Amino acid sequence: MQLRDAGTPCERSGIRRVGLMGGTFDPIHYGHLVTAEVARAEFSLDLVIFVPAGIPPHKKGIKISGGTDRYMMTVMATVTNPYFEVSRTELDRPGPSYAIDTVRYFKEQFDAETEVFFITGADAAIEILTWKDATDLLKECGFIVATRPGCSTGELERRLQEARLHSTHCIYMVEVPALAISSTDIRRRVEQGEPIRYLLPSNVETYVHKAGLYR
């Protein structure tokens, strides 16, 4: 797992550090979990909070599972890690789920000395300047961007370079091999009756089948 600096180096300051990991988590899989654990270890995060999206603004017209199912799968997948928590913040908030609202909500819950990082994937980060209130968001928190080994990152690095012009925090990229797993492929496999074992935690696999998801 290779860490690459995409901005001003972040030194461990001794203050509390929290990572916010947003996503649809439909379903959550080992790629998500490994990403969160790599970010926690590499950046000395004291806590990673998984935040399942309520209404993802970038997935309009795409059918997603209900919030309760996605929340339950995320809780089941993270329960054994003492550094992971799950929040219903976006599920309980009316309207589309925007990162700027989520980051500001959590910063209000933390003391002023807590350092916040938003953990996201390269596919989302490459469009970061199109996110709602992007320039304000880049001043609110740092970013940890997860990429797959071997993927071309030239365009991503160019976009992040533009983002750094607006940011007052660190923006890092980290390679995560397990990101080769995707929720889209897992849903396709279930629909077509193919195995999904070892792509996601066994209790989440059981939940998917018992709840009849993705059929």
What is the value of pTM for the model shown?
A: 0.91
Boundaries of every domain in the chain: 3-211
| pLDDT tens string 68-121 | 999 999 999 999 999 999 999 999 999 999 999 999 999 999 998 999 999 999
pLDDT band at 8 (very low <50, low <70, confident <90, very high): very low
Q: What is the CATH number of domain 3-211?
A: 3.40.50.620
Residue 52 to residue 125: CA distance in whole angstroms: 17
Residue 179 vs residue 55, higher pLDDT:
55
20 touches 102 (CB < 8 A): yes
What average pLDDT score do residues 30-47 get?
96
Alpha carbons within 13 angstroms on the beta-carbon side of residue 175 total 11
- pLDDT at position 1 over 70: no
Report the pLDDT value the prediction gives residue 5, as an integer from 0 to 100: 39
- pLDDT at position 3 over 50: no
For the chain, give the mean pLDDT: 91
Report the pLDDT value the prediction gives residue 191, as an integer from 0 to 100: 97
- pLDDT at position 135 over 60: yes
